[in-house]
Structure 1
Amino acid sequence: MHYAHNLTVNVLYQMKLSTEQTLALAIALSHFTSKVSAWSPTNGYAPGTVSCPSTDVNFLRDATGLSSEESDWLALRNQQTQPALKKFIERANFADFNIEEFFDEIQTNITIALSFSGGGYRAMLNGAGQLSALDERTVNATEYGLGGLFQSSTYLAGLSGGNWLTGSMALNNWSTIDELANNNNGVWDLNHSILDSGGLNIFSTLGRFIEIDHAVDAKKAAGFNTSITDIWGRALSYQFFGSDFDGYAPLTFSSIKDGEAFQNALVPFPISVADGRAPGTLVISGNSTIFEFNPFEMGTWDKSVHAFTDLEYLGTHVTNGKPDNSDICVRGFDNAGFVMGTSSSLFNQFLLQLNSTALESALKSVWRYFLSDLDKHEDDIAVYAPNPFFKAEYAASTDVADSEYLYLVDGGEDLQNIPIAPFIQPERDVDVIFAFDNSADTDDHLPDGASVVASYERQFGIINSEASFPYVPDTNTFLAHGLTTKPTFFGCYASNLTELSRVPPLVVYVPNVPYTTWSNTSTFKMSYDADEKRKIIQNGFEVSSRYNMTMDSEWRKCVSCAIMQRSLEALNEPQPAECKSCFDEYCWDGSVYSGDENFTTSVNYTQTGNSQAGVPDRSSITL
């Protein structure tokens, strides 16, 4: 086993394995690597003090470009994505397009980003199915789905429930969706809500929350502020990481960078998104500061802060990035559950609705005890103190830099429920974003495009960086013109985007549609039995695959066209004729709701599918 663990990617390549075989084997080997290697130095939830990396270290940098770590990683990832993408496009079987010549001519690598919206467990499960259809490790994904797109992608972002999906994957050694759904060691066991994790066994539930209470008390005793997000994140960790080691209490988000699959760039670069908001203030898309967590850093491109800090050393007292005591730094503050809880802190409200739950009275009393000494003004806030951006010199505003605390909230509170901001920064030079929308914008818990509308509008605000987003219509147009019943491409032609600050990525918008099950569950539905879970994941697969390629047998080809478009434009090369047909089908044509058209915001589904989208009979395909 020790010999197997020491296999490197170079050795794997010498074995002449394919890209997918290399990824599968590397991930399998990484299961032998204990998560302990990246744990908090206290071996518990509480952060601990360590020696600083050097006496003159500065953890802060100006957000004027990518970090050196991300740039170095990208050089490795490009060696993986471009061969995988070439293989993916070859499967599209273009009739008259020379793929070899195209890849020889393009001057830069094609960069693909996958973005999964928030929306609680609904978003996590729908997103899981959508992602599984992109992953060639999924059975039948290559034949009936978009298998290989995950392997071809450079970036992967999640927000709130979408981050539960992407974080679960990354922090469980890049497990497949099928592996996560199997409930191994309690991972993704959703039979009971986190309020009564033991179900009928009240003593099991009490034991779980005694562990949580002790963990949060330990962080407080170590001198760190705690909030309800600490409790929320600790509770979620048992579902996301398993029951061992008290829900892997010492596991950190920065540990992702230590995994063999990530180190060798065999997987996309994962990003978690949250918003900055002080207690008692309101976040809107125009004034929000959008923070991202990635394996190396935490920070924001927005002008209000415009800085990044070393994620591994969060919790260290700093002034303008330099430790106040050059001998003492902190590690373990970036607890994996706490970061994922931060991105979904809106769900703190669920913890506060005790009177509306069916919990045993004893459990309600326990919960009230846990919540009794928390600041009621910080119900939906995660406290990051000390502030890693204290006295930062790069900020255009002093609001964050002058505060000893940094307050973060659910990344969807500014209406941008799809985490797109990290991928429209010019520094990342993304070509195409696949935006999976599992939001509950309508009364039927379905999307209406509000998230992409907010992202479009935000680019004109003063807080925004140099990000650019393609034109989109209003939400009434999304509903009236059926843009929520099938995928839609935005920003198809750069020649139509010249009035924007720069040419943005093409956006492939993929909304949740209930094809084979009612996937539009409530955001606050907190438990799913095994059958419900599997059905929603299956439906997500069908959303990504255009109902297993039965609604459009050319869907893989159309996706390939969207991926190649920016490169074709840069080469001043015409589209293949088949791409022109695809764009005629999927690109938003610029028309908007006139106010005279009749439409309903309610779903219009039959037992055989979505009558608006023309879904075939649900019994017509079996995977």
Structure 2
Amino acid sequence: MKVSYKSIQFLTLILSYTSLVSAWSPTDSYAPGPIDCPSDLQLTRSADGLSQSELSWLQGRDKITNQNLISFLKQVNMTDFDPEEYITNTASNETIRIGIAFSGGGYRAMLSGAGQLSALDNRTTNATEAGLGGLLQASTYLVGLSGGNWLVGTIAMNNFTDVQTILDEGILWDLTHSIANFGGINIFKTYDYYSSIDDDINDKENAGFKISFTDVWGRALSHQFFAGLNDTGAALTWSTLQESPVFQNFEMPFPIVVTDGRTPGSTIISGNSTIFEVNPFELGSWDPSLYQFTQVKYLGTNTTDGKPVDGKCIGGFDNAGFIMGTSSSLFNQFILQINTTSLSSAIKDIVSDILEKASEHEVDIAIYEPNPFYDTEIGSTSITNNDTLFLCDGGEDLQNIPLQPLIHPEREVDVIFAFDNSADTDQSWPNGTSIVATFERQFLPIGNGTLFPYVPDEESLRNLNLTAKPTFFGCDIQNLTSLLNSSLATSKGDIYDTPLVVYTANRPFSFWSNESTFKLSYEDWERDGMIQNGFEVASRLNNTLDPEWPACVGCAIIRRSQERLGIDQSEQCQQCFQRYCWNGQIDDSQIPPLNFTETGLTDGAEESGNRTISASSTLLSKENKFSLYQIMGIGIITFAVFAINL
């Protein structure tokens, strides 16, 4: 194997992470433990604005994104527009902020999202020429939910690594065996895997903390996402990001995890769910049902009215895998299926022991006890009067794209790039259900003054082929003023705080990417095919379907700023908006078109047939590609192995 300079650089990074791991959790293990804290520490605050920590961080990040945005807008060949003059002249009064959101949907969402993210990353080979390379570097926020958060969490918690490096080095994202049968035919590896998970949750339980299936799930995920650490992330905390040089130097977007609040036995729907976010500084919710945040570093601390009891604090509860598992707790049910597999009896004994320890609560709930919001005076008593905070998969309220953190006026996001890798249809394709749910939520009391542009219903999104290519929503601010007239939407800002949304749905170019949400193993060629297809989704097939696509993206980025300043669009941007903006048309007929080729219509290809489609590749080298016959043969073998093991 040829060792590149990048390989040496990455291995050096991993070794440095390993040497620092003891600094992350006070116990150097999965167990939380006592840490020092100020005697007058107030852990909770009202959600009446951004935290001082986030505000301070944004000041540094804005300077970086301004420069990166100038570079990006220069490379996309916008006509009649001088990026440097525009950004430099407006930066003193306002900064254009970009948010990127990746939906849930298991490994399908993670891998498709990885390809989409790589198309926005100037570190990806050919992304500048064939994609939207540099857009990631110009972005302020990066948000993930469930499978989308596996992507965001992997990138953020591995020192803001990039997808290209993950593929080149082969250390992370080894998905060749199901997470339930981690070692495959190597039963010793699988035994060690479950033994280490059992040891980890024993450590937490022996430290006096309740455990749930999410603890098991989070530790299992960590073996794939933090494989470069000698303890696979057992001591890695989410708040570690605060001390990461790449974060402190504002070199990465601000990562946010989205999860839902849920009382055991309740049903989650978008109208009554409390949406929580976890960012590097805080955990909490903007919703009136809570309207509070707490410092994530001190989760696990006994508090009364937001203050540590007896001045004693806990650290290490915010394990990175546990946070990522919380956002994807829907997958906890995989644990219950393990005893039906062909695993050895010795392994099943360990699994049974794990199940017994974690079975006190419903399978899809993560337990945060003690509740950091206990006995506080803000929000619903159903949350604040309970000594336990229950959180669950962020997609259980139908808002599978994590848009809520990006539409609060306080964050001043101008444009959101929303990547939808959901499985809304029987064939596991997205149909826009998520953005419809977010749009409707603003008219409910729990919407709390957030504003989201008009979108059509799911039938219209499908029938008008708005899922067949990227679609812009909220293109003309003057058409959104009626949103302010809603009696329930008492906005905290003005209409210009409504971001323009660039919606991009998963669809096939070089690979049928509609894999099942619960597919738990991917051969390398499948993983790489999903990622390559995601690149092509975001880049409009490597910018071949519309050579002006990068320029149109640039037009979307500057639109809100232009409207605030009263600047007219260029002719090029007007033409872009004619191609990509939803024009308000509705078509709710029940006979959908077939919209899975480059033009938006099928050419007779059956989804159940050939799993690959011919397309040019930018992310994968020729050596990593397979012929059609190789892929078919591997597919048959893979299915046989999967059937035997699971």
Instruction: Specify if TM > 0.5.
Output: yes
The superposition leaves residues 511-561 of structure 1 with CA deviations (integer Å, 9 ceiling, x where unpaired) of 111110111100000011111111111101001100000000000010000
Query: Which residue number in structure 2 is paired with residue 103 of structure 1?
Result: 87
Q: Is 2:423 aligned against 1:444? A: no
Measure the CA separation in 2 of the matches of 1:437 and 1:31. Answer: 35
The superposition leaves residues 219-255 of structure 1 with CA deviations (integer Å, 9 ceiling, x where unpaired) of 1111111000000001111100016433121110000
Query: Which residue number in structure 2 is paired with residue 295 of structure 1?
Result: 280
Aligned-pair distance for 1:499?
A: 1.4
Q: Is 2:388 aligned against 1:405? A: yes
The superposition leaves residues 378-435 of structure 1 with CA deviations (integer Å, 9 ceiling, x where unpaired) of 210000000001112222x211010000000000000100110000001101000000
Measure the CA separation in 1 of the matches of 2:182 and 2:451. Answer: 44
Over 3 Å counting, the alpha-carbon distance change for 1:121 and 1:135 in structure 2 is: same
Instruction: Select which of 130, 136, 147 maps to 1:150.
Output: 136
Query: Residue 514 of structure 1 contacts residue 610 of structure 1 at CA under 8 Å; is this kept in 2?
Result: no
Aligned-pair distance for 1:374?
A: 3.2
Instruction: Select which of 89, 94, 109 maps to 2:73.
Output: 89
The amino acid of 2:591's aligned partner reads N
The amino acid of 2:147's aligned partner reads G
Aligned-pair distance for 1:198?
A: 0.8
Query: Residue 211 of structure 1 contacts residue 246 of structure 1 at CA under 8 Å; is this kept in 2?
Result: no
Aligned-pair distance for 1:275?
A: 0.3
The equivalences for 1:31-70 within 5 A come to: 32-33=16-17, 34-36=19-21, 38-52=23-37, 54-70=38-54
Query: Which residue number in structure 1 is paired with residue 232 of structure 2?
Result: 247
Query: Residue 125 of structure 2 contacts residue 164 of structure 2 at CA under 8 Å; is this kept in 1?
Result: no
Instruction: Select which of 616, 630, 633 maps to 1:621.
Output: 616
- Secondary structure of residue in 2 paired with 1:498: helix
Instruction: Select which of 56, 66, 75 maps to 1:72.
Output: 56
- Secondary structure of residue in 1 paired with 2:180: helix
Query: Which residue number in structure 1 is paired with residue 333 of structure 2?
Result: 349
Instruction: Select which of 486, 493, 500 maps to 2:476.
Output: 493
Measure the CA separation in 2 of the matches of 1:613 and 1:95. Answer: 34
The superposition leaves residues 434-468 of structure 1 with CA deviations (integer Å, 9 ceiling, x where unpaired) of 00000011111110000001111111111222211
The equivalences for 1:335-414 within 5 A come to: 335-354=319-338, 357-360=341-344, 362-375=346-359, 377-395=361-379, 397-414=380-397
Over 3 Å counting, the alpha-carbon distance change for 1:393 and 1:532 in structure 2 is: same
Measure the CA separation in 2 of the matches of 1:161 and 1:583. Answer: 31
The equivalences for 1:194-273 within 5 A come to: 194-242=179-227, 244-273=229-258
More displaced 10-residue stretch of structure 1: 61-70 or 362-371: 362-371
The superposition leaves residues 306-356 of structure 1 with CA deviations (integer Å, 9 ceiling, x where unpaired) of 111111000000011101111x21000000110000000000012222366
Query: Residue 149 of structure 2 contacts residue 327 of structure 2 at CA under 8 Å; is this kept in 1?
Result: yes
Query: Residue 63 of structure 1 contacts residue 301 of structure 1 at CA under 8 Å; is this kept in 2?
Result: yes
The amino acid of 1:599's aligned partner reads P
Query: Which residue number in structure 2 is paired with residue 13 of structure 1?
Result: none
The equivalences for 1:376-525 within 5 A come to: 377-395=361-379, 397-501=380-484, 502-503=494-495, 504-525=498-519
- Secondary structure of residue in 1 paired with 2:191: helix
Over 3 Å counting, the alpha-carbon distance change for 1:235 and 1:496 in structure 2 is: same
Measure the CA separation in 2 of the matches of 1:148 and 1:31. Answer: 28
Measure the CA separation in 2 of the matches of 1:297 and 1:411. Answer: 17
Aligned-pair distance for 1:217?
A: 1.1
Measure the CA separation in 2 of the matches of 1:253 and 1:128. Answer: 20
The amino acid of 2:271's aligned partner reads G
Query: Which residue number in structure 2 is paired with residue 587 of structure 1?
Result: 581
Query: Which residue number in structure 1 is paired with residue 542 of structure 2?
Result: 548
Over 3 Å counting, the alpha-carbon distance change for 1:613 and 1:379 in structure 2 is: same
Over 3 Å counting, the alpha-carbon distance change for 1:567 and 1:439 in structure 2 is: same
Query: Residue 27 of structure 1 contacts residue 261 of structure 1 at CA under 8 Å; is this kept in 2?
Result: no
Over 3 Å counting, the alpha-carbon distance change for 1:80 and 1:155 in structure 2 is: same
The superposition leaves residues 571-592 of structure 1 with CA deviations (integer Å, 9 ceiling, x where unpaired) of 1111111111011000011111
Aligned-pair distance for 1:377?
A: 4.2
Query: Residue 30 of structure 1 contacts residue 173 of structure 1 at CA under 8 Å; is this kept in 2?
Result: no
The amino acid of 1:581's aligned partner reads Q
Aligned-pair distance for 1:156?
A: 0.3
The amino acid of 2:432's aligned partner reads G
Over 3 Å counting, the alpha-carbon distance change for 1:610 and 1:27 in structure 2 is: farther
Over 3 Å counting, the alpha-carbon distance change for 1:176 and 1:62 in structure 2 is: same
Over 3 Å counting, the alpha-carbon distance change for 1:556 and 1:423 in structure 2 is: same
The superposition leaves residues 145-172 of structure 1 with CA deviations (integer Å, 9 ceiling, x where unpaired) of 0000000000000000000001001111
The amino acid of 2:250's aligned partner reads A
The amino acid of 1:213's aligned partner reads D
The amino acid of 2:454's aligned partner reads Y
More displaced 10-residue stretch of structure 1: 586-595 or 141-150: 586-595
- Secondary structure of residue in 1 paired with 2:166: helix
Query: Residue 416 of structure 2 contacts residue 499 of structure 2 at CA under 8 Å; is this kept in 1?
Result: yes
TM-score by length of 1: 0.91
Unmatched 5+ residue regions in structure 2?
Answer: 1-7, 485-493, 605-611, 619-646
More displaced 10-residue stretch of structure 1: 386-395 or 175-184: 175-184
The amino acid of 1:263's aligned partner reads Q
The amino acid of 2:601's aligned partner reads Q
Measure the CA separation in 1 of the matches of 2:446 and 2:324. Answer: 25
Query: Which residue number in structure 2 is paired with residue 7 of structure 1?
Result: none
- Secondary structure of residue in 1 paired with 2:99: strand
Instruction: Select which of 560, 568, 573 maps to 2:562.
Output: 568
Q: Is 2:156 aligned against 1:163? A: no
Q: Is 2:159 aligned against 1:178? A: no
Measure the CA separation in 2 of the matches of 1:27 and 1:358. Answer: 36
Measure the CA separation in 2 of the matches of 1:27 and 1:103. Answer: 38
Over 3 Å counting, the alpha-carbon distance change for 1:204 and 1:621 in structure 2 is: closer
Measure the CA separation in 2 of the matches of 1:27 and 1:81. Answer: 28
The equivalences for 1:288-327 within 5 A come to: 288-326=273-311
- Secondary structure of residue in 2 paired with 1:308: strand
Q: Is 2:605 aligned against 1:612? A: no
Aligned-pair distance for 1:619?
A: 4.6
- Secondary structure of residue in 2 paired with 1:378: coil
Query: Which residue number in structure 1 is paired with residue 643 of structure 2?
Result: none
Over 3 Å counting, the alpha-carbon distance change for 1:76 and 1:489 in structure 2 is: same
The amino acid of 2:581's aligned partner reads C
TM-score by length of 2: 0.88
Unmatched 5+ residue regions in structure 1?
Answer: 1-23
Aligned-pair distance for 1:194?
A: 1.4
More displaced 10-residue stretch of structure 1: 97-106 or 445-454: 97-106
The amino acid of 2:374's aligned partner reads F
Over 3 Å counting, the alpha-carbon distance change for 1:297 and 1:402 in structure 2 is: same
Identical columns (%) = 52
